[in-house]
Amino acid sequence: MREISPLQKERLNYRPKLAGVLSLGINNIKLSLKDKTSAVGDVEEIKKLFPNIFGEPIARFEAQGSELSRENKNVGVILSGGQAPGGHNVIAGLFDALKTANTQNKLYGFLGGPSGIVDGKYIELTDEIINAYRNTGGFDIIGSGRTKLETQEQFKKALGVCQELKIGAIVIIGGDDSNTNACLLAQWMKENNTGISVIGCPKTIDGDLKNDQIEISFGFDTATKTYAELIGNIQRDANSAKKYWHFIKLMGRSASHVCLEAALQTQPNITLIGEEVEQKAWSLDKIVTYMADIIAKRAEKGKNYGVALIPEGLIEFIPEMKNMISSLNDLLAGLEGNDSYINAKEDEKYSIISSKLNDSDAKLFNSLPAQIKAQLLMDRDPHGNVQVSKIETEKLLIAMIKEKLSQMKKEGKYTGKFSDQAHFFGYEGRCAMPSNFDADYCYSLGYNAFALIQAGLTGYLSSIKNTTKPASEWIAGGVPLTMMMNMEKRHGEMKPVIKKALVELDGPVFAALEKYREKWALEDCFIYPGAIQYFGPSDVCDIATITLQLEQEKQLANV
């Protein structure tokens, strides 16, 4: 019996490349501080809420400097939120930097996400444990969770646990919500003079944690390559059997980056982009009409098959749905603990909800199939997000398109056959073995996080830039978390949160889709990317995502 796969065995020996100056080693770099920063929105409010960490400068590491501190420092690490390929390498990079700086340093892994630090659940990460997880996918080394850190009680408990373990710094590996946690914790630790610093690392397959300083969140590269392989396989199947329309919903809770990148890699017939739907104020019916029109045009050419990509977060971008969901969020927050609602049967719940909504929201809510109503009423996650991964938008669209096509048939506008297959790709890619890019990038992010700690910084996000170039040219540094914050409504209240980066409709990536999508709709221009390549020529194994390449080209053109 095998204990691990032959590929995993091979990958355990892969030596990730370190970014630029970091390859000189943690003891041979110096910190340089650049421009002071502000916040992306609600500046005064954010300044007031984070007085001790607001407005710090951008940090960058340079070569040949005075050494960073080598004082003994124990660190606690937390994996937070949805899994993303490369998380284990962030921990490996952190571990290697910390041990290189001082062999007495210890790394503690808090178990099950942020709750681990509050409840004092942890393990010490040793060489033996780390070595078994190098270059592997998943977060199973210590597990993950979505607990929101915000109360005084949680912070005090976390402090007690850190003091017991002589922990001087905490690294939170997470997306926008998890790094919001990191920002709140950093502020609390500083204002209470605990001497404990907090550093974040940008994780999420969704790709929506990015800005001038954070070019890409880790996991996006591997996840999109994995989805592109699966979509390519389905396209080949569609093109072989020529009898199904495949509707593929792709993860990405809010932003449509995953869908856009996967589309550029595979060239399907239809790609919906949530941000475009919002900008054009498309109704559900307009989306259905747009899709049915392409299906009918392909049918005229004898092509009763095709592939459509649908972003997971689509539903929240449709203006009428967005309004209704926002009213539902407030309503559900108000109904928390209301026994007569909680104990009501499903149908009664729908009537209670519908009676409390305004006329247009109620009309829309009542028009939806029961399954979708139930999915919309499910509990929000601890950060107040609708669990869009559980809303079967792809099936809702299929049902509505069937109705539209039969109507078109009656009117003589459609003569084809429509046979559907629904898919949802999300979990299939979140724990894939990291690509070479994610293995290198994550290892560098972790190593760099320890450099930020040794430089005495807190409330920073580990940043590695220039990532379309070889790793030797990558730039290591840090960006203050407060720079990315603004105020948003969560659980019915205004809260400070990291602003999500959505698809820019005037950017080069969306422009690439816009340029070709009409051709891709009617002709068969499918690309079949195949599996992630680890070994072989560099222009096969080390290519950046199309998103990153186009964004970087644009940025360079503007310099």
Angle (CA) 396-397-401 rounded to 5° is 125
Residue span 431-470 as binding mask against ligand FBP, x where in contact by CB under 6 A, dash where not: ----------------------------------------
- Enumerate residues 6+ apart whose C-beta is below 8 A from 301: 522
In the complex, the smallest distance separating the C-beta of residue 176 from ligand FBP, rounded to whole angstroms, is 7
Among 222, 265, 389, 436, indicate the residue that binds ligand FBP (CB under 6 A): 389
Give, in degrees to the nearest 5, the angle at Cα 125 between 123 and 126.
130
Residue 82 binds ligand FBP (CB under 6 A): yes
Q: Is the Cβ–Cβ distance between 59 and 31 less than 8 Å? A: yes
Q: Tell me the C-alpha distance between 389 and 160, whole Å.
A: 36
> Is 206 noted as a catalytic residue in this protein?
yes
Q: Which of 73, 141, 186, 206 binds ligand FBP (CB under 6 A)?
A: 206
Strand partners, 270: 308
- The nearest distance, CB 117 to ligand FBP, in angstroms, is 17
Contact predicate 273/333, CB 8 Å = no
DSSP characters over 369-422: -HHHHHHHTSPPPTTS---GGGS-HHHHHHHHHHHHHHHHHHTTS--S---EEE
CB of 175 to ligand FBP, least distance (A): 3
Calculate the CA 279 to chain-centre distance. Answer: 22
Region from 28-36, 76-84, 151-159, 542-550 binding ligand FBP, contact rule CB under 6 A: 76-84
Q: Which of 18, 29, 49, 251 binds ligand FBP (CB under 6 A)?
A: 251
Among 96, 312, 316, 394, binds ligand FBP (CB under 6 A): 312
Query: Quick one: which segment of 54-62, 186-194, 246-254, 507-515 binds ligand FBP (CB under 6 A)?
Result: 246-254
The answer to the question of residue 234 lying near ligand FBP (CB under 6 A) is no
**From the candidates 96, 176, 177, 206, which is the catalytic residue?**
206
Stretch 157-196: interaction string toward ligand FBP, x if CB under 6 A: ------------------x---------------------
- How big is the CA angle at 218 (ends 448 and 173), to the nearest 5 degrees? 60
Distance of alpha carbon 186 from alpha carbon 196, whole angstroms: 8
Q: Which is nearer to ligand FBP, 172 or 475 (CB)?
A: 172
> Which residue of 187, 204, 329, 468 would you call a contact of ligand FBP, by CB under 6 A?
204
Stretch that binds ligand FBP, among 113-121, 247-255, 268-276, 363-371 (CB under 6 A): 247-255
- What residues pair up with 282 in beta bridges, in sequence order? none
**Residues linked to residue 495 through DSSP beta bridges, in sequence order:** 488
- Please choose, from the candidates 78, 77, 252, the residue with its C-alpha nearest in 3D space to the C-alpha of residue 148: 78
Give the Cα separation of 266 and 259 in Å (integer).
Answer: 10
Cα(490)–Cα(330) distance, integer angstroms: 9
Residues near ligand FBP (CB under 6 A): 81-82, 84, 175, 204-206, 251-253, 312, 388-389, 426, 430
Residues serving a catalytic function are 206
